[in-house]
Structure 1
Amino acid sequence: MQALCSEKALSLARIGKQLDLRRSQLERLLLLLGHDECWGGMGYVAQEEQRGRPVITLTEKGQALCAQMLDAMV
C-alpha cells in the first residue's frame, strides 16, 4: 500500500519484485486488497490495463486510507 500511496499505478511485476512475492502469492494478496463480487475483499485497489499490461491502482477507498496513514505519521 505504501508504494501505491506514492505512485499512481504499479505493474504487477514491479509490486511482486518489491515485495519479493511470486505471481500467485501477489494475486492472492490483491484479491484481499481489491474487490471481487465472488470473493469480497477490502476494496482498496483495482486492477487496470495500461499499454497492454496489468497495473494496480488505488480506489477512492484506498486513497482515503493513504491519507489517514500520512496523517498518522505526522
Structure 2
Amino acid sequence: MSEDPALALLRLLAEEDRQSVHRVAKRLGLGLSELQRLLAALGDDPRYDGLDLVVQQREGERVLLALTDKGRRLCGHP
C-alpha cells in the first residue's frame, strides 16, 4: 500500500461507514495487530492520546468501525 494507512482508513470509512474490523484490515492489507495500533491512535482512548476520529462499535459478535462526528467533519461529511 502506497497511501498512509491512517489516511486510507479514514478515506475507506468516509466512503462506507460502519465496516467490520476484519473487512477493513483485509481491504487495507493490514494485519489485525497493525489495525489495532492504528485504531488506538485514531480512536478516543485517553490512555493513548487518540485523535477521536474513529470509533469501534460492538454489534453482537462483530466490531464495526465508524467515523466520529469529528472524523466526518475532517473528511468533509456533515
TM-score normalised by L of structure 1: 0.84
Q: Does residue 10 of structure 1 match 2:22?
A: no
Aligned residue for 2:34, secondary structure, equals helix
Query: Aligned residue for 1:31?
Result: 40
Q: Does residue 44 of structure 1 match 2:58?
A: no
Q: CA RMSD in A?
A: 1.3
TM-score normalised by L of structure 2: 0.80
Count of residues paired in the alignment: 68
C-alpha distance in 2, partners of 1:48/1:10?
10
Larger radius of gyration: 1
Aligned residue for 2:41, secondary structure, equals helix
C-alpha distance in 2, partners of 1:43/1:11?
18
Structure 1 residue ranges, 4+ long, deviating more than 4 angstroms after superposition: none
C-alpha distance in 1, partners of 2:47/2:17?
27
